[in-house]
Amino acid sequence: MTNPVFTYRSTKQSFSPDMSAPEANPPTSNCPPQSDEWKSFLHDVIEQFDCTTGTLHRFDPGDNHLKLLASQRIPEVLMPVVQSIPIGKGIAGAAAQRREPVEICNLQTDTSGVAKPGAKQTQVQGSLAVPVMDGDRLCGTLGIGKLTPYDFSDDEKKRLLEIGAEIAPRILPLV
């Protein structure tokens, strides 16, 4: 029996079907470990968009929170906060609630109230979070950020949404 392989279109990178398996090594903090495959996926997405930070969350309908699957360059002090994000809170939570991209050109000077105050500790300025959707079903969120002010183009938003839609079957909500 062959092992099915998942390929996300943007980088032609192959992944095994169980992308949520924990690492063999224990985490360096009290936060749950992140799988190497999801971290690799996120790293590649961040590079495609010339960004420096990012997160990938899965929706948990049991508590209506987004649960962290992978992150890159998120300060350790924020890890307990980004591990579980209520729908509607912060940039990722807003993207999940609205079922549409949420962008902040400069997180450091933003006064919209969307971003949580602690988010400024990331030093990110331009940020974009999109819902990961399987049709009409929310599966999670995918977020990226730059260290400079930046307005993401409609094409970039569309591309990130498409990447999210491709991985949605792999991160279907826990039932």
Q: How far apart are CA 1 and CA 153, in angstroms?
A: 43
Phi, psi of 44 (to 5 degrees): -65, -40
In the predicted structure, residue 72 carries a pLDDT above the cut 60: yes
Q: Write the burial class of residue 9 (CB in 10 Å: 0-12 exposed, 13-18 middle, 19+ buried).
A: exposed
The CATH number given to whatever domain includes residue 92 is 3.30.450.40
Q: Tens of pLDDT along 25-70?
A: 333 344 556 889 999 999 999 999 999 999 999 999 999 999 999 9
Residue at 120 is within a domain: yes
Count the domains in the chain: 1
Lowest mean pLDDT among 11-20, 43-52, 83-92, 159-168: 11-20
Q: Is residue 10 part of a domain?
A: no
Whether the pTM exceeds 0.85: the reply is no
Which residues is 138 bridged to in the sheet?
Answer: 133
pLDDT-derived band at 21 (thresholds 50, 70, 90) equals very low
Asked if residue 157 is part of any domain, the answer here is yes
Residue 155: Cβ within 10 Å count: 8
Mean pLDDT calculated for residue range 15-21: 40
Query: What mean pLDDT is reported for the chain?
Result: 80
